[in-house]
Amino acid sequence: MKKIAKLYKWEFNNELYASIYFVTMLGIYSIEVLLNGERSIDIFIMLEMLCVCYIIAIIQRKVFSESSRNMERFMKLRTLLWYGLSSFVLVLSCFVFNWFEYLQSWAMGVFIVSMVIGFVFIWIGIRIINKIDTKHLNDLLSNYQENSKSNGRESDL
């Protein structure tokens, strides 16, 4: 049962980040489509983008896995690895799936730059959330330790 719960949590986190990437990706792409004078997006392009976002989320979860979080000295290397792999998958997908075939020539460049900048902001968000969670857990631990000491002293009397 623990393995199923662990898998479910892992999948839930993948879907969370994939959704964030997908909303960002689809939003940028939609703006570019509108600027091109169109009003609709091919459903297959959206499905391809969703799959790409899921792959990027898996890369992120693997690179920043819970087992490697404590290895702060390798954080820069892991960050560069995640950033490079995610950018590579994004650029490769743009060409393989030909998302910009019917758009202006500048659209793909703007899309890639926007997404790469988005990756930076998402990484910053992850770092902030991890620091907040760590501080919260440390505060809870400190409160627990203080309560344990005070309860232990009372029983000694």
Taking the C-alpha atoms of residue 26 and residue 46, their distance in angstroms, rounded to an integer, is: 7
Smallest CA-to-CA distance from 23 within 114, 100, 129, 108 is with 114
Share of the chain above pLDDT 70, in %: 91
Neighbours of 99 (CB within 10 A): 23
Residue 17 and residue 57 in contact, taking contact as beta carbons nearer than 8 Å: yes
**pLDDT per residue as tens digits for the range 71-101:** 666 888 888 999 999 999 999 999 999 999 9
* DSSP string across 70-94: T-GGGHHHHHHHHHHHHHHHHHHHH
pLDDT digits (tens, 9 = 90+) for 27-47: 999 999 999 999 999 999 999
